Amino acid sequence: MPSLRQQIATTALTLTKYRDLLKRIQENRPNDDLSIVKKAYEYSLRVHEGQLRASGEPYLVHPLEVALVLAEMKMDPVAVAAGLLHDSVEDTTLTIVEIRKEFGEQVAHIVEGVTKISKIDFATREEAQAENLRKMMLAMVDDIRVVLIKLADRLHNMRTLEHLEPERQRKIAEETLEIYAPIAHRLGMGKIRGELEDLGFRFLDPESYEQVEKAVNARRKQGEVFLAKMQATIQDKLKEAGIQAKVESRIKRVYSIHRKLQRQRIAIEQVYDLFAMRVITRSLQDCYAVLGIIHNIWRPVPGRIKDFIAMPRPNFYQSLHTSVITEDGTPFEIQIRTEEMHKMAEEGIAAHWKYKDGPVSAQDEQRLAWLRQVVEWQRDVSDPNEFLSSLKVDLYPEEVYTFSPKGKVVVLPRDATPIDFAYTIHTEVGHTCVGAKVNGRMVPLRHKLHSGDIVEIITQTGHKPSRDWLGLVKSSRSRNKIKHWLNVHQRERSIEIGRKLIEKEARKYRIALKDIKDEDLLRVAGGYGLGKVDDLLSGIGYGKYSARQVLGRLLPAGATPSMVGDLEAEGFTNKPGTIASVVRRVFGDHNAITVKGQGDMLVYRARCCNPIRGESIVGYITRGKGVAVHSVNCPNVTNLMYEVERKIEVEWGRDESTPTSYPVKLTVYCDDRFGMLKNITSVIGDAQSNIRNIGAHTSNSQASVEIVLDISDLKHLESIMSGLKKIPGVHEVQRLQKI
C-alpha cells in the first residue's frame, strides 16, 4: 500500500495531466462535449489504481499521455476516450462488454481493435516480413482511430523506453523502426514519424546515434548563424515583394541524416539539407512567387528543383523543394509550401481527421481504403500519376494476413479457408489436412480466415483431398494442387479399372492376366501409339479402348471366347472404331461433352435420360464403352452411383459454334379442341425446332400429344415448354427422358 504522501503526489501528477488534456481538447475543438472523456478518465483512474509503470510512475500517466498525443492530433472525444481506456481491457478487470455499455459502440470497437493488435507480438515474429506485418496491422483495422491510438501509444512507450531492460529496449525499438515509423510515414504524419525514428535509432544503435548527433552538434553553432543570416535575407526580399510568409529553419533529424549517409555513402559535409529553410505561404500562388524570388537571390542547383505541389508524393505530401548555392559556395535546401500543405506534412491523416465530426462515415471508410493502399505501396514511386492510377484500380487489398503457430506470416486471398492455408505451408500438409484450429479453437474446413488469425492445421496420414475442396479454396495455388492430385489419382483409378476389365475379358478365354507377358502388353500399347502399359490400361479404364479389342490383339488368331461378350449383347460389333463412330452419331458433335481434366475420352449421352446441352450432367465410367453422361436428375444415376469410384465429372464442351440438336420427347396434356394441334406445331415452328414425330391419344375431350422434336439446348427446350404451356387449354407439358 503506497504511503499517503505518495498517494497525494500521484493524485497531483495525474490531475495536472488530466487538466492539460481537457485544456488541449478545448483549444482544438471548442464545441466538443467532453463528458465522455471525463467519464473515461474516471474509469481508467479506478481500474488502473495501484498499477505502476517500469518508471515507477502511476500507470495512469501512460493512458493520459497517450490521450494527450491524440488531443494534439486534434482527434475527437471518442478517440481520446478510447485512448484513455486503451490498455484497460488487457491489463485490468474492465471488459469490452462494460465499455460498450458505458461508452457506446464506437469506443468499445476502437478499444477492441487496439487490444487485438496489442496481442500480436510483432517483435517475436519471423524477420524480413516487416511489410507484411504493416499490411496485416492495417488489414485488421476498420477504424483509422485504432491506428492513431497505436501510434500515440507507441510514441509514449518510446519516450519512456529508458526504464526497460536493454533486451526489451532493442526489441521494441526495432519494431518501432520496422512497423510503426513506416506506418506513420505512409499516413503522412511527418512529426510522429520523425520522433519515432530518432527514438528507435537511439535505442537500437546508440553508438551510431551518438556519432551522428555529435557531428551535427559540431556544426550546429555555425549552422545556426548561417541560418539566421539566410532567414533575414529571405524575409527582407519577401517584404520587398509584398509577400506575407513565415520563414522557419530546421536541422535535419538524426535518423534521417544517418540513413542518407548510409544510402549515399557520403560524409556529413555532403549532406545538402542538413540545415534547411522552410517558407510557409498564405496561398499556392505565393509558393511559386517565393521560388522565383529565392532563385533571384541565389543560383539554383540544376536538377534539384522538385515540384511536389503539382506532383504530390504517394502520401499526399506537397511542397516545392529547391537547392541553391550561397555566395560562399554552400549548397542549401529550401522548402516552400502553404500553411495547409505544412499541416498535412506534419500531421498527415490526422490533419484530415480534425475537420470531421460525428460517427464514422462512408467518406472515412474511403480514407481508410486509401490508407491501406498507401501502406500497400512498397516503395515511393517516382511518378505520382502512376500511383494515383493504381489507387483507382485496386482500392481494397483483397488479402488476409494470418500467422502459423511459429509466427510465419501467411498471405492469402480474401475469404481463404484453412485448406488454402494448409496448401501454402506445404502440398502434403494440404493433402492430408483434416481440420484446423484458429486462435486455439476448432473450426470447420470451410471457415473463412481473418487477418491476425493464428492458424494451426491438423493433418492425418493417409487422408486424401476431395473434389468438394475445389469449392472451398480461394487461392489458385491450392486449387491447382487439388486438381493435380485428383487427376493423378483418377488415372490410378482408371488403370485399376482397366486392369479389371482386361482380367474379366481374359477370363472368357480362360486366361489369367498374369499369364500375359508384359512385353506383349507393351507391344499392343505401341500399336495404339502408347509408350506405356499403364497408358493402355487407363485407356481401357476410361473406355477409350475396349478390353475385347485389346485382348484380341494379345491372343493368337483364331482364339474364341467361351462366353458371349457384353458388347455383342449391346448390338455392337468388335471392329475397331465402331464404338467411336456410334457414339459420334449419338450426339452429333464429339466436342459436345468433355470430361474435366481429360480431353480425349470417349463420352456419350446415356439413352435413359438423353441429357441436352445446358443440363446439369454427371459422368459414369462404363465397362468398356467410355463415359456415359447422365442428367443429374436421371433415376439411373442414383443406382449407378453405388460404385462411386466410377463417377467422373463432365461438362458441356465450350465449342458452341457447331450446332448440335438432340431429339427430345414431350407429352402435352390438353383439351381436345379444334385448332389445338395447329397451336402446338406453330409454337414449335416459331422456336425454329423441327418435329421428328408426333402422335395423339384422345378420350372424353381430353388429349395427350406426344412429340419428338429437335432441341439445341436446355434454354431452347425451356422456351418451347413455356410457349406450349401458354396455349389456352394446355394443362401440362412433360419431358420424357426416354425417347
Question: 650 has which bridge partners?
Answer: 595
Q: What pairs with residue 621 in β-bridges? A: 627
According to CB under 5 A, which residues from 24 to 53 bind Mn ion? none
Cβ nearer to Mn ion, comparing 65 with 178: 65
Q: How far is the CB of 94 from Mn ion (least distance, A)?
A: 14
Cell numbers for 448, please give them: 473463412
CB of 130 to Mn ion, least distance (A): 21
Helix axes 206-241, 254-264, angle to 10 degrees: 100
CB contact set of 391 (below 8 Å; sequence gap of 6+)? 370, 373
Which residues participate in catalysis according to the annotation?
Answer: 90-91
> Which grid coordinates belong to 236?
527582407
Minimum distance from residue 149 beta carbon to Mn ion (Å): 9
* Closest to 506 in 3D by CA, of 575, 554, 571: 554
- Residue 69 Cα to chain centre, angstroms: 33
Interacting span for Mn ion (CB under 5 A) from 146-154, 215-223, 414-422, 565-573: 146-154
Let me know if 688 is exposed, middle or buried by CB neighbors in 10 A (0-12, 13-18, 19+). exposed
CB of 140 to Mn ion, least distance (A): 17
Bridge partner residues of 739 (DSSP): none
Under the criterion CB under 5 A, does residue 175 sit at the interface with Mn ion? no
CB 154 within 8 A of CB 160: no
Q: Annotate each residue in 71-100 with x if it binds Mn ion (CB under 5 A) or - if it does not, as one string.
A: ----------------x-------------
Q: Give least dist CB 150 to Mn ion, A.
A: 9
Of the pair 153, 420, the CB lying nearest Mn ion is at: 153
Residues 357-416 that bind Mn ion (CB under 5 A): none
For 531-580, give the DSSP string: S-HHHHHHHHHHTSS-HHHHHHHHSPTT---SS--HHHHTT---STTHHH
Q: Which stretch binds Mn ion (CB under 5 A): 149-157, 340-348, 382-390, 723-731?
A: 149-157
Q: Which stretch binds Mn ion (CB under 5 A): 153-161, 247-255, 345-353, 573-581?
A: 153-161
* Identity of the residue, 87 or 376, whose beta carbon is nearer to Mn ion in the bound complex: 87
- CA-wise closest residue to 499 among 534, 524, 475: 534
Candidates 76, 153, 178, 198: give the one binding Mn ion (CB under 5 A). 153
Binding letters toward Mn ion, positions 101-140, x by CB under 5 A: ----------------------------------------
Collect all residues with Cβ–Cβ distance below 8 Å to 147 and sequence separation of at least 6.
137, 138, 141, 183, 187, 371
412 vs 137: CA distance, rounded Å:
15
| Shortest distance (Å) from residue 157 CB to Mn ion | 7
Which of 178, 120, 125, 191 is CA-nearest to residue 152? 191
Return the residue nearest Mn ion (CB atom).
153
Of the pair 87, 453, the CB lying nearest Mn ion is at: 87
| Shortest Cβ 63–Mn ion spacing (Å) | 7
Closer by beta carbon to Mn ion, 196 or else 501: 196
Q: Which stretch binds Mn ion (CB under 5 A): 145-153, 251-259, 323-331, 677-685?
A: 145-153
- Count of residues interacting with Mn ion (CB under 5 A): 2
The closest of 224, 222, 219, 276 to 248, measured between CA atoms, is 276
Please answer whether residues 629 and 700 qualify as being in contact, where contact means their C-beta atoms are separated by less than 8 angstroms.
no
Nearer Cβ to Mn ion, position 158 or 628? 158
For Mn ion, the closer of residues 172 and 721 by Cβ is 172
Q: Which is nearer to Mn ion, 87 or 197 (CB)?
A: 87
User: Which residues 551-590 are close enough to bind Mn ion by CB under 5 A?
Assistant: none
The whole-angstrom separation of Cα 104 and Cα 35 is 13
Q: How far is the CB of 277 from Mn ion (least distance, A)?
A: 38
Which stretches of the chain bind Mn ion, using CB under 5 A? 87, 153
